[in-house]
Each structure stands twice: as structure tokens, then as C-alpha cells.
Amino acid sequence: IITSGYVATTIDNSKTTLGRNGSDFTATILASILDIKKVEIYSDVDGVLSCDPRKVKKAKLIPNLSYKQISEMCYFGASVLHPKTLIPLKNKNVELYMKNTFKPYLEGTKIVENFTTSNQIDAITSITDNSLITIKGKGMLGICGISYKLFKILIENDISTSFITQASSEQNLCISIKNEYISRVNKKLHNIFKNEISLGQIDKIKINKNIVIVTVIGNNMNNRVGIAGEIFTILGKNNINIIAISQGTSEISISFVIKKQDELKALNALHEEFI
């Protein structure tokens, strides 16, 4: 059977699309409905790589991954697959293969619900089209509603954030959003926080467009004591300053913000050490 993908219909019969990677999403939806046990998705690469080969020449093919690993990779910058593509496959025990259209004889990358590996780190990704918003102020300590007002702006403008961190002292709150939204959000932030700024509760709302979010991903990171220390030691040896740090509760990824000019140096140094 040959069928189309990407184009869809809403519940009220309006024409719509499935968005980015909609054809891949179509394939996994059909696999879920029809109880198919194997899905192959073809692109222009041999499979899922350990890093962007345009940035790290020694990037390696990853033969096996779990749904959780590939989801983290895609969310944090790997463009090979959209995280929503995996949603229909949850608890279906479907094998998903990423293969090369021009080299179909290659095995590619096999993605399954659960996969155990001995690797400390499986992949390193980076996001370059984001800006970092930092809200600072000694008067923020104990003030209710700062985070609420910030995220209310994002919700009202249908903007998502890929990075969030707050100092335990409550004097510093950082988030990242795509560059295309930064001018609009910056104006709204200064407007909604004008009272806090006038009272000195907030000292500064800083926008940094010259940043990169680097994420180190590995299934065994949560079992390895000192892995974060090793990562930051390597960055220190290469004179790379870390602007902000965030770790997900899944403990299989650590994200940090650095200057755009240090991206290639950081990716290659970490890849050389761990992969």
C-alpha cells in the first residue's frame, strides 16, 4: 500500500498538516494503529550520529538507541527526527530504524523502547538559534509571581523554552527562547515587570543572543558519579566559560549555555574525550 503523509484532517473535518516531520509522524501513527512491529524512516544520513557531522568531523554512527535517548537528542537540537514521532510507538514494542535513502543496504540506527549500553555518553547536541533571557535582582528573594509572570508571557504568545534554570538564592532566573521571538518578549517583559524594576526588586533583564545550548546525553550518566565534573573540567581546560547549567530530572542529559564562539571547540573537545 502506498499512502500519503503530512496532510491531515482535524476532528471537525478542517484540512490541516502534521507539521515538521509530519511524514515520519504519519508512519508511526499507522504503525501504531496497524500493530506493525518495524518502521523504517529514510533520510540523507546513515542513521543517528553522535554529533552534528558539520560541526564534529569525527561524529560516529550510533547503532542502537532507546526511545528516551533519541527523544532527548531531538529535543536538544538533533534534526534527524521530531520527538512527537515517537508518541504513537509508546508501549507498542515497535522497532524504529533510521536509514540512508542513498545507501539502503546499511543497517542504520535501531531505536527501541529500552536499550542498555555501557557507554557513559552517547551523543552531544547543540542549539544555536536561541537567546538567553536572564532576570536578575537581589530583591527577587521571596517575591511571589516572578516566574508566573515570565511564563505567562510565553503561554500567551505560544512560545516554548528549551532551557530553564534558577539560582537557589532566587536572585537569578534564566530561560532560552528562539531568536525570532526575542524582540517581542523583551518589550513585554519590561512592561510586565515595570513595577518590580521601579521598586528595585529586579535590577536587570538581560538578553544574550550570542549563545549556544550544548547538551550531553547518555543513558548511564545517572549511574556515573562525577560525570558532570569531568565535563566541566574539559571545558575549563579549553578556556570555555559556562554561562548557565541545567540538568533534567531524567538524569540522562546535562545542558549548559556557552558563548557562540566556543561552540565548535566545546563540541569537539567533549566528543574527543567521551565518544
SS (H, E, C) 173-226: EEEEEEHHHHHHHHHHHHHHCHHHHHCCCCCEEEEECCEEEEEEECCCHHHCCC
| Res 250 pLDDT > 70 | no
Share of the chain above pLDDT 90, in %: 60
pLDDT of 152 reads 94
Q: Is the pLDDT of residue 261 over 70?
A: yes
Residue 249 has pLDDT above 60, yes or no: no
Structure-model confidence comparison of residues 77 and 39, the more confident one:
39
Please give the pLDDT value at position 60.
93
pLDDT single digits (tens) 118-127: 788 899 999 9
Under the banding of pLDDT at 50, 70 and 90, the label for residue 169 is low
- Looking at every residue in the chain, the average pLDDT score rounds to 89
135: confidence class by pLDDT, cuts 50, 70, 90 = very high
What value does the mean pLDDT take over residues 197-208?
Answer: 91
pLDDT category at 84 given cuts 50, 70, 90 is confident
State residue 50's pLDDT score: 93
The stretch 213-227 carries a mean pLDDT of 81
pLDDT above 70 for 264:
yes
Whole-prediction pTM? 0.86
More confident residue, 160 or 222: 160
pLDDT at site 168: 62
